[in-house]
Amino acid sequence: MNALTRARVEELLRRIERHTTAQAKKRQQAQLGPAADGATLCIIKNLCKALPRPDQDLAQALWQTGQHGPRLMAALLADPQLMSPSALNAWAQDIETQDLCDLCCVEVFPKTKTPFKLAERWIKQERELTRRAGFMLLCTLASPRYKTASADLQKMLPLIKNGAADARPGVYKAVNKALRCIGARNATLNKKALACAEEICYLFENSRTALWVAANAKRALAPNTAKRRKV
């Protein structure tokens, strides 16, 4: 890190600290865990307005602080096209809060050269938030803003099926959302997602978590509700 980048990071750290309070930190830690520092995404977005984007050097330097607020800022400033697979994997392994995980899955990971490879790799990881990142990345890739091929999304359904019994909230809720998002993409994927939900019920009949994932997805994707309700 050169002297200029270090000075910019130090100034941004001071700005973030000025916009957070002990009370906000306590509330946020109750929701997100001890890594949270009271910096909300709203605060970070406001602080980023005057900053040129993307700025990968600054983003990486902010990430290396290891702090929650600066890492939220890093996700907004990053240039995913300049990040190597090893750097992206390091970020996924470093994530310690769900809000940061979900932000990276919108602003960073889907804009890389091989997002499906990243999703597949992370879904197979045991670490909770890394695994969540894999499933949440699928949610973004299935959204209308991405011209994702249906075949690529369909290939991910077996991974979703296998992850449905993970009892950790950060994972199974992401599994459920990924299944619903893929099923909401088009009529063909709707049928495939509903079939996947049925397979989950059959394979994991003794898992309350998996049965909830499947039942919730089936309700959202049923033909008579999918037209009325946004998944």
Range 8-33 average pLDDT = 94
| Residue 224's pLDDT band (cuts 50, 70, 90) | low
Enter the tokens of residue 50: 């005057």
Q: Is the pLDDT of residue 226 over 80?
A: no
Task: Give per-residue pLDDT as tens, 25-44.
Answer: 999 999 999 999 999 999 99
For residues 2 and 92, give the distance between their C-alpha atoms in angstroms, rounded to a whole number: 25
Identify the residue whose tokens are 């995913």: 80
- Give, as one character, the DSSP assignment of residue 42: H
Query: What pLDDT is attached to residue 223?
Result: 78
| Residue 1's pLDDT band (cuts 50, 70, 90) | confident
- Cβ neighbour number for residue 131 with a 10 Å cutoff: 23
Task: Give per-residue pLDDT as tens, 166-186.
Answer: 999 999 999 999 999 999 999
Query: What pLDDT is attached to residue 229?
Result: 46
CA trace torsion 202, 208, 214, 216 (10° rounding)? 150
| Residue 225's pLDDT band (cuts 50, 70, 90) | low
Domain ranges of the chain: 1-78, 92-231
Chain centroid, CA 105 distance in Å: 4
C-alpha to C-alpha distances, 221 to 14, 49, 139, 155, nearest whole angstrom: 47, 38, 15, 19
Smallest Cα–Cα separation from 111: which of 135, 72, 137?
A: 137
Q: Which fold has domain 92-231?
A: 1.25.40
In the chain, % of residues over pLDDT 90: 93
In the chain, % of residues over pLDDT 70: 97
Range 114-128 average pLDDT = 97
Query: What pLDDT is attached to residue 228?
Result: 41
- Reported residue count of the chain is 231
C-alpha to C-alpha distances, 222 to 104, 144, 187, 190, nearest whole angstrom: 30, 19, 11, 8
